Amino acid sequence: MKNSKILPIVRAGMIAALYVALTYASALVGLSSGAIQLRLSEMLTVLPAFLPESIPGLYIGCLIANLLTTGNIYDILLGSLATLIGAIGARMLRNTHPLLISLPTVIANAIIVPLVIILQAGGGETFASFPYFFLTVGIGEFLSAGLLGTMAYKIIDKNKLLPRL
């Protein structure tokens, strides 16, 4: 099974499913979208430091999660793009300090998600609200991707739970 070409696809699918499940759990308590977000699923964005197939897994998982939780076209497309950018950035920073691995996710979401919130408000919010949403989304991303993600990374790395591919 080690040389199987199916294994990366299975891993990507499992990561996508886990992302959806954790986002849905956050949605149940009202924290998966909006000005204040704390998506537990964002801690998974450190996985590209271990597995390259986690990049499409996270992207597809985010697409599905956004489709199921918000159904908003801006969130489905742009929010998922933020996760994709963060996942690619995490992969690129895989050989740096663990605290830096989640930085692309925090930055991409802090910039893109406020735009999503403003666009989906349909005139209810203006671009003058961007600094507020940048701050609130950024704090949520720092907590979920930054703190929880770094903790997850350290647990995975210390216990050799995933290979480094």
C-alpha separations of 118 from 55, 64, 67, 84 in Å: 27, 21, 18, 21
C-alpha span between 77 and 62 (Å, rounded): 10
For the chain, what is the domain count? Answer: 1
Q: Does residue 21 fall inside a structural domain?
A: yes
Name the band, by pLDDT with cuts 50, 70 and 90, for residue 31: confident
Task: Please tell me whether the overall predicted TM-score, pTM, comes out greater than 0.85 for this model.
Answer: yes
Q: Does residue 134 fall inside a structural domain?
A: yes
Q: Does residue 163 fall inside a structural domain?
A: no
Domain extent for 84: 6-29+39-158
The per-residue pLDDT for range 120-149, each reduced to its tens digit, is: 877 667 788 999 999 999 999 999 999 999
For residues 11 and 60, is the Cβ–Cβ distance under 8 A?
no
Q: Does residue 1 fall inside a structural domain?
A: no
Q: Does residue 132 fall inside a structural domain?
A: yes
> Residue 2's pLDDT is what?
60
> Residue 30's pLDDT is what?
81
The per-residue pLDDT for range 71-125, each reduced to its tens digit, is: 889 999 999 999 999 999 999 999 999 989 999 999 999 999 999 999 887 766 7
What does the CA dihedral 80, 155, 134, 108 come to, rounded to 10 degrees? Answer: -40
For residues 48 and 90, is the Cβ–Cβ distance under 8 A?
yes
